[in-house]
């Protein structure tokens, strides 16, 4: 739709298929994210586009993935969402289990999340609709020429790549 074939790597699916023996210790989370980074780098190396949708709590590991993919081709999107909002949206009850001590090393509860220092894109996961955030991301990708103009998710023509882009802080 935007001139590119895109592969979506969902962190939960990849964990089940490529990393079934891994738990949620820091080492295991890092291993899972490194595997995502390797697959992403291979897809990019063959001129594909990829979206990795995963909780990647540690800066160092995210930066390793950036190096694998390539600095100019890696776009980090930080979905800035307060912990309370994440908990309120938790349909699987994972936060409740973590707070009860039934899940250990849970990001935001008893394991840290290290926010990125300089992501290419920051979207507000609490105050904006998912569609608005998607439009912001698409605006950035258009401006940087990762994708070609088409129509955004709300059906409006996307001819101005700045209409929804928030500059890097």
Averaged confidence pLDDT in the chain: 88
| pLDDT mean over 141-159 | 72
- The answer to whether 19 touches 34, Cβ cutoff 8 Å, is no
Tokens representing 140? 């950035």
Buried b (16+ CB within 10 A) or exposed e, 35-51: bbbebbbebbeeeebbe
Give me the catalytic one of 19, 25, 56, 164.
56
Region 107-122 average pLDDT: 96
Q: Is 124 helix (H, G, I), strand (E, B) or coil?
A: strand
Residue 162 has pLDDT above 80, yes or no: no
pLDDT at site 149: 82
3-state secondary structure of 151: strand
pLDDT above 60 for 56: yes
User: So what's the architecture of 77-110+118-169 in CATH?
Assistant: 3-Layer(aba) Sandwich (3.40)
Same CATH topology for 1-74 and 77-110+118-169: the answer is yes
Helix (H, G, I), strand (E, B) or coil at 14: helix
Residue 119 and residue 148 in contact, taking contact as beta carbons nearer than 8 Å? no
Only one residue has tokens 């990393």, namely 19
Q: Evaluate whether the domain defined by 1-74 bears CATH number 3.90.100.10.
A: no
* Residue 67 a catalytic site member: no
Q: Which residues of 94-119 are buried (b: 16+ CB within 10 A; e: fewer)?
A: bbeebeeeebeebbbbebeeeebeeb
**pLDDT class of 166 with cuts at 50, 70, 90:** very low
Ordered by start, the domain boundaries in the chain are: 1-74, 77-110+118-169
Secondary structure (H, E, C), 30-75: HHHHHHHHHHHHHHHHCCCEEEEECCCCCHHHHHHHHHHHCHHHCC
pLDDT at 20 over 60: yes
């Amino acid at each position: 739709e935007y001139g590119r074939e895109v592969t979506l790597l969902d962190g939960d699916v990849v964990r089940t298929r490529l990393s079934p023996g891994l738990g949620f210790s820091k080492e295991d989370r890092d291993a899972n994210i490194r595997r995502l980074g390797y697959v992403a780098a291979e897809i990019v190396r063959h001129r594909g586009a990829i979206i990795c949708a995963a909780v990647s709590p540690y800066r160092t590991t995210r930066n390793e993935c950036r190096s694998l993919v390539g600095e100019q081709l890696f776009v980090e999107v930080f979905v800035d969402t307060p912990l309370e909002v994440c908990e309120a949206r938790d349909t699987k009850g994972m936060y409740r289990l973590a707070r009860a001590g039934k899940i250990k090393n849970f990001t935001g509860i008893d394991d840290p999340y290290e926010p990125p220092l300089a992501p290419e894109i920051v979207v507000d996961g609490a105050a904006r609709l998912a569609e608005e955030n998607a439009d912001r991301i698409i605006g950035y990708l258009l401006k940087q020429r990762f994708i070609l103009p088409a129509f955004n998710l709300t059906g409006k023509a996307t001819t101005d790549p700045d209409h929804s882009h928030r500059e890097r802080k």
